[in-house]
C-alpha cells in the first residue's frame, strides 16, 4: 500500500502527519510526505529558480525544505523513525531534481527506504492530483483546516481514497463512525476502517442510516458482514440503525469526537459534478476527520 501525506506548514500540519504516520505504521506502507510550495508565476519562475540556485552556494535551503525538515524531525521525535540510526538521515542542501517540477530530499539510511520527502511548487490541487496519478497512491491524507473546497475537488478528481484530517485533536479520544449500506463501496470502507481502528486502537460504530420505514434485510446483511469482519480482526464494534436522512444524521451523530469513514459514491462522475454526492455533502458539513474510501 502507498500513502501520500500532504503537508503545508509547520503550524497546521502536525495532526495530518500524526494521523498519516499512525496509519502508515499499521499498514506497513510506503509513505511519501509532500509539501506543495508557493505557485510561481510563469513570468518569474526562471528568475526564482536562478535565485534558488544561488541560495545553494550560500548553504541556504530552497523554500519548503524547512517544512520537510521539520516533518522529518517530528517523525523522529514521535518515534515514527528509529532514533538509533547511525545515519544523520535528513541531508541539508541535498534536494534531488526528479523532473516535472518535483524534487526529493535525499534521505540516508536503510530504515528510510519506505519514506520519501517530496517538494513541489504550484497549484495545490493540480500538484496533489498529479502526484497521486503519477505514482498510484492508495490513500492521500490531507489537512482540513479552511480548505474544504480543496478537499472537495480532490475527492472528486483523484483516484485514491482520501483522509481529510479536519479538526483533529491529538488529545481527544475518538471512535470511528463507519457508514454501512449495501453499496460496493461499503466493503472497501470496512476493510480500511479495520486498519484505521487498529492504527488508533479505537472502537467502531457501524451505523446504517435509511429513510425506509422498516430496515430491509439488505442493510441488516451488510451490517452483519461488517460486524463479522471487525470481530475477526479483533476490533470492538457496535451496530446502530437510525431512521433519517443520511447526511444530516451522520454529521449530527459524528459531532467532533468521531472519525467518519464512508465508501465513495457509486454515482457517475457527471452526476457528482452537477448534483454532488453524499460523501461530498458530509465532508462539507462535518466537524471531524473523515475518510472517503475508493
Please report how close the Cβ of residue 217 comes to other proteins at its closest, in angstroms. 30
Query: Which C-beta is closer to other proteins: that of 60 or that of 106?
Result: 60
- The number of helices, as runs of H, and strands, as runs of E, in the chain is 10, 12
CB of 36 to other proteins, least distance (A): 11
What the block records as the C-alpha cell of 262 is 464512508
- Identify whether the C-beta of residue 230 lies closer than 8 Å to the C-beta of residue 194: yes
Q: Which of residues 172-211 bind other proteins (CB under 8 A)?
A: none
**Contact call for residue 37 and other proteins (CB under 8 A):** yes
Q: In this chain, which of 94, 104, 108, 126 binds other proteins, going by CB under 8 A?
A: 126
How many of the other CB atoms lie within 10 Å of CB of 188?
15
Minimum CB–partner distance for residue 213 and other proteins (Å): 34
* Least distance (Å) between residue 59 CB and other proteins: 8
Give yes or no for a contact between 275 and 244, defined as CB atoms under 8 angstroms apart.
no
- Among positions 142-161, residues that touch other proteins (CB under 8 A) are 153, 156-157, 159
Using CB under 8 A as the binding rule, whether residue 40 contacts other proteins is answered as: yes
The CB-of-196 to other proteins minimum distance in angstroms stands at: 25
Between 97 and 214, whose beta carbon lies closer to other proteins?
97
Residue closer to other proteins, measured from CB, 76 or 152: 152
Task: Show the cell assigned to 269.
Answer: 462522475
If binding means CB under 8 A, how many residues of this protein chain bind other proteins?
A: 39
Cα 48 to Cα 227: distance, rounded to the nearest angstrom: 55
Give the burial string for 117-149 (b: 16+ CB within 10 Å, else e): bbbbbbebbebbbbbbeeeebbbbbbbbbebee
Q: How far apart are CA 42 and CA 49, in angstroms?
A: 11
How many other CB atoms are there within 10 angstroms of residue 239's CB atom? 16
**Smallest separation, CB 206 to other proteins (Å):** 28
CA atoms within 13 A on the CB side of 190: 25
| Ordered DSSP codes for 215-261 | --HHHHHHHHHHHHHHHHTT--EEEEEEES-HHHHHHHHHTTSEEEE
CB nearer to other proteins: give 53 or 87: 53
Closest distance of CB 98 from other proteins, Å: 16
Contact between 7 and other proteins (CB under 8 A)?
no
Residues 290, 20: Cα–Cα separation, whole Å: 13
Question: Binding other proteins by CB under 8 A: which of 22, 26, 30, 45?
Answer: 45
Q: How far is the CB of 211 from other proteins (least distance, A)?
A: 27
Q: Which of 2, 102, 120, 129 binds other proteins (CB under 8 A)?
A: 129
* Interacting residues with other proteins between 46 and 75 (CB under 8 A): 46-55, 57-58, 60-61, 63-64, 66-67, 70
Measured between its terminal Cα atoms, the distance across the chain in Å is: 14
> Quick one: which of 126, 113, 115 has its CA closest to 21?
115
**Nearest CB to other proteins, comparing residues 8 and 210:** 8
Per CB under 8 A, residues contacting other proteins are 10, 37-38, 40-55, 57-58, 60-61, 63-64, 66-67, 70, 121, 126, 129, 153, 156-157, 159, 268-270, 273
Amino acid at each position: 500500500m502507498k500513502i501520500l501525506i500532504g503537508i503545508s506548514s509547520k503550524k497546521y500540519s502536525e495532526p495530518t502527519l500524526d494521523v498519516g504516520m499512525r496509519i502508515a505504521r499499521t499498514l506497513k506502507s510506503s509513505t511519501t510526505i509532500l509539501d506543495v510550495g508557493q505557485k510561481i508565476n510563469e513570468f518569474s519562475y526562471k528568475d526564482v529558480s536562478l535565485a534558488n540556485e544561488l541560495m545553494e552556494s550560500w548553504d541556504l535551503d530552497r523554500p519548503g525544505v524547512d517544512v520537510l525538515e521539520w516533518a522529518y524531525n517530528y517523525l523522529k521525535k514521535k518515534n515514527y523513525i528509529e532514533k538509533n540510526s547511525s545515519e544523520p538521515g535528513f541531508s541539508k542542501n541535498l534536494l534531488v531534481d526528479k523532473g516535472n517540477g518535483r524534487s526529493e530530499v535525499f534521505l540516508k539510511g536503510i530504515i528510510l527506504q519506505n519514506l520519501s520527502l517530496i517538494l513541489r511548487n504550484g497549484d495545490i490541487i493540480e500538484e496533489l492530483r498529479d502526484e497521486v496519478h503519477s505514482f498510484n497512491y492508495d490513500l492521500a491524507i490531507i489537512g482540513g483546516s479552511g480548505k474544504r473546497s480543496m478537499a472537495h475537488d480532490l475527492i472528486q478528481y483523484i483516484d485514491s481514497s482520501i483522509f481529510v484530517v479536519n479538526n483533529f485533536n491529538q488529545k481527544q479520544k475518538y471512535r470511528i463512525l463507519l457508514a454501512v449500506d449495501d453499496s460496493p463501496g461499503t466493503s472497501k470502507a470496512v476493510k480500511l476502517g479495520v486498519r484505521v481502528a487498529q492504527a488508533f486502537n479505537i472502537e467502531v460504530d457501524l451505523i446504517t442510516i435509511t429513510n425506509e420505514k422498516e430496515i430491509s434485510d439488505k442493510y441488516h446483511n451488510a451490517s452483519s458482514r461488517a460486524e463479522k469482519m471487525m470481530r475477526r480482526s479483533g476490533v470492538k464494534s457496535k451496530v446502530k440503525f437510525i431512521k433519517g436522512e443520511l447526511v444530516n444524521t451522520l454529521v449530527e451523530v459524528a459531532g467532533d469526537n468521531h472519525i467518519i469513514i464512508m465508501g465513495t459514491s457509486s454515482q457517475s462522475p457527471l452526476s457528482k459534478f452537477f448534483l454532488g454526492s453524499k460523501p461530498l455533502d458530509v465532508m462539507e458539513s462535518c466537524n471531524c476527520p473523515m475518510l472517503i474510501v475508493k
